[in-house]
A and B are shown apart, each in its own frame.
Chain A
Amino acid sequence: MSAARDLADLVDGRAAGPDGYVRLAVDAGVWTALAEGCAGGLHDLGALWADGGAMRMALSDSGRGLRAIVSLQTNAGQYPSVAARHPPALRLERAMRDLYGVQPIGLPDPRPWLDHGRWPGRQSEARYEFLPTEGEGLHQIPVGPVHAGVIEPGHFRFTANGETVVRLEERLGYAHKGVEGLMAGAEIEQAARIVGRISGDSTVAYAWAFARAVEAALGWTPPPRAVLLRGVMGELERLSHHINDVGAICNDASVLTIHARCTLQREDALAVANACFGHRLMMDRVVPGGVAADLSGEGIGKIRGLLARFEATRAEILRVYDSMPSLQDRTVTTGIVSAKLARQYATGGFVGRASGRAFDARKSFAYAPYDRLDFDLKVRTAGDVDARLLVRMDEIGESLRILSQLLGRLVPGEIRAARPAVAAADEGAALVEAFRGDVFVSVRVGKDGRLAGVHARDASWFQWPLLEAAIEGNIVADFPLCNKSFNCSYSGHDL
């Protein structure tokens, strides 16, 4: 076993690219030492993906503001497994092995992940073996991939002792539609449309991360007004999903009145988004070089009206939530995620922030326009369903403040810059805070101006495994509450 290596001494003295990432090639020894560093808590694992003949790893240390992307040339596809040292990399490595045929040596779990043995040319009848459970009186409950509600496809295998969940094992990949394969070799405009559909609920965040990555690669600067408008769209998206999640959590505890009120407020936000930007979810409105829809003076008035209504709803929901001990009986101390796990998995979003991990890409690696705005990073420590709900409520308050500042700073101007000529092949990466956590996108642009490779890592990759831990020891009936309080993306994870 090699010694852990700190990211800080590796990147010391090296210049970061325009996207803030230091890029360097490493050998297998350094690669392994960096993986040990992740395990030792010296830095965070942000992403891990296969790119051509290399494996790449995004590492960060938000406390010291360090970010790096390291590359390791594989030996005919073989490389030392990161998951063998740092378990959060496990599903990432299983997925990359399924998609690109790379061979992580020492991978602790050899089962496929995204490959279900159903792809043409790769058909296999081999059964997927769930992890064994032993003990008296245990029974299994298989759920999904088609669920009882209107939700995305995924399989949950519960092992229960009476009502109590002893183990939950997730099986994902049902929504895998090959987005990375579709984007390799695609025109930038076409890839932007695909990126916006990796996870429809975070379409603005994905499109924004992709745009920033492409802009960094091409030296393309979006106009100031476009940057502010991206912020407006990003915060509208966050507001609409946070209030929806709060309602959905209460709905799973059978408090339909709060749910009804929340869905009405969400509808209000979507209608305003539609009136201002021409699409309820604001799909394809953030594009490389700027934005595709301008905000009129009338639109600004509409958003200001929404802010006032949203604030009133937020206060009212909080008051009613606080007055219902029967509801809090379901949410408080249910589905606890320990601070240690949140730290180990570098879990972003409300899942991490409800378990004491003070990370928000808008603050920790601040990007425009957030770098010049006044807002707070809200953290709670209980790690239960209640904390995840209240973090969302806190963030709604901050989003309203942010929107108010953004609207005040809008000045007339261009909303999209012309694309510069591509001088040489280059790459870029970006981290954007979607409503559920940080979305990482890395792109390589070829000399012909087409994309040579794109990798997108949803926040869900580091949240799904924690759901398995959160439900342990809870009753089966509380799973919907826990699941909703996480609200992980299936599509964003399955790619």
Chain B
Amino acid sequence: MRSFLLDALRKGTATIAPPGPDAAALGEAAQALGERARQRLGRSLAIREIDAGSCNGCELEIHAISNPLYDVERFGLKFVASPRHADVLLVTGPVTWNMREALLRTYNATPEPKWVVALGDCAINCGVFAGSPASIAASSPVHRRWSDRSPISCRSTCTCLAVRRRRSRSSRPCWR
């Protein structure tokens, strides 16, 4: 164990510099969030991740953004264990019919104000699973109302979470 600590002292911190702000993305975020949301949230965001039938690729990359290299928590982004503690529900997967009720219940358990962010092709438009009767259609409100396309990679996940927070227009769950 001592060797770990000595090694860390010798090599210095592993965490890399954050990606520079993308002007277009910042503008989009400012527009989407509004001043009131910023006041409410301060500089932190509590995220509850929900796998609604993903292949687990997105989960691997979500894990990766918490590693010491990317250290997403330094931006005030924290993954929480309960929807009761969350500001944002981060949804992956094409939303299978078998996960619909659990997703709805998790949404209802999250206090207002809340945002839903779709991560990856599948959550946005079902991706390669489009057309399957086992998942909710890509044309349904679930997929249409959610956030922009965000290709899977841990760096883009960081950026996505940092700037693409969109307010759901009403408290009514969009996949009902």
Chain A interface residues (CB < 8 Å from chain B): 114, 116, 118-120, 145-146, 148-153, 173-179, 181-182, 190, 193-194, 197-201, 203, 244, 257-258, 260-261, 263-264, 266-267, 270, 280-281, 283, 316, 319-320, 323-324, 489-491, 494
Query: How many whole Å from A252's CB to the nearest CB in chain B?
Result: 13
The reply to whether A177 and B53 contact each other, CB–CB distance below 8 Å, is yes
- Is B53 a contact partner of A176 (Cβ separation < 8 A)? yes
Residues of B within 8 A of A193 (CB): 128
Q: How far is the CA of A266 from the CA of B102 in the complex (A)?
A: 32
**B residues in contact with A176, CB < 8 Å:** 53, 96, 98, 134
A144 to chain B, nearest CB (A): 8
Q: How far is the CA of A173 from the CA of B96 in the complex (A)?
A: 10
Residue B49 at the chain A interface, CB threshold 8 Å: yes
Other 19 A-B pairs with CB < 8 A, given A153-B50, A199-B55, A257-B4: A118-B97, A118-B98, A118-B101, A119-B134, A149-B81, A151-B59, A152-B51, A173-B98, A175-B54, A175-B93, A177-B134, A190-B128, A197-B129, A199-B56, A264-B68, A316-B3, A316-B4, A324-B1, A491-B55
Contact with A along B107-134 (1 / 0, CB 8 A): 0000000000000000000011101111
Can you list 26 A-B contacts (CB < 8 A)? Answer: A116-B98, A119-B133, A145-B102, A149-B81, A150-B51, A150-B62, A153-B53, A175-B51, A175-B54, A176-B96, A177-B53, A177-B129, A177-B135, A179-B129, A194-B129, A197-B127, A197-B128, A198-B55, A199-B56, A260-B68, A316-B4, A319-B3, A320-B1, A320-B3, A491-B53, A494-B53
A394 CA to B133 CA, complexed, in Å = 43
Nearest-Cβ distance from residue B132 to partner chain A, whole angstroms: 4
How far apart are the CA atoms of A59 and B106 in the complex, in Å?
43
Decide if A152 touches B56 in the complex (CB within 8 Å): yes
Closest to A495 in B: B134
Residues of B within 8 A of A190 (CB): 128
Q: Which residues of A contact B64 (CB under 8 A)?
A: 263, 266-267, 270
Question: When the two chains form their complex, are residues A146 and B106 in contact, meaning their CB atoms are under 8 A apart?
Answer: yes
CA distance A11 to B129 in the complex (A): 39
Residues of A within 8 A of B106 (CB): 146
Residues of A within 8 A of B52 (CB): 153
- Alpha-carbon gap, A182 to B62, bound state (A): 27
Q: How large is the interface on B (under 10, 10 to 19, 20 to 34, 35 or more residues)?
A: 35 or more
- The residue that A150 contacts in the complex, of B59, B67, B97, with Cβ under 8 A, is B59
Using a CB-CB cutoff of 8 Å, which residues 55-100 of chain B contact chain A?
55-64, 67-69, 79, 81-83, 93-94, 96-100
Distance (whole angstroms) from the CB of A69 to the closest CB of chain B: 26
Residue of A nearest to B83 (CB): A146
Residue of A174, A203, A316, A323 with most chain B CB atoms under a 10 A cut-off: A174
**Chain A hits for B128, CB < 8 A:** 182, 190, 193-194, 197
Contact B134 A203 (CB under 8 A): no
Are A264's CB and B69's CB within 8 A?
yes
**Are B53 and A175 within 8 A (Cβ)?**
yes
Task: Note all chain B residues with C-beta closer than 8 A to A182.
Answer: 128-129, 131-132
Query: B residues 38-57 with Cβ under 8 Å of A?
Result: 49-57
Distance (whole angstroms) from the CB of B16 to the closest CB of chain A: 10
Tell me if B54 and A263 are in contact (CB < 8 A): no
Nearest-neighbour CB distance to chain B for A12, whole angstroms, equals: 41
> In the complex the two chains form, is B60's CB within 8 Å of A281's CB?
yes
**B98: chain A residues within 8 A (beta carbon):** 114, 116, 118-119, 173-176, 494
Task: Name the residue in A178, A193, A266, A320 with the highest tally of chain B Cβ atoms < 10 Å from its Cβ.
Answer: A178
- Asked if residues B57 and A201 are in contact (CB atoms below 8 Å), the reply is yes
A153 touches B102 (CB 8 A): yes
CA distance A178 to B67 in the complex (A): 33
In the complex, are the beta carbons of A175 and B63 less than 8 A apart? no
Q: A146-B106, A316-B3 are in contact. Are A181 and B134 (CB under 8 A)?
A: yes
B150 at the A interface (CB under 8 A)? no
Q: Is A174 a contact of B60 with CB atoms below 8 Å?
A: no
Q: A149-B81, A178-B133 in contact; A320/B4 too (CB < 8 A)? A: yes
Contact of A178 among B49, B69, B134 (CB under 8 A): B134
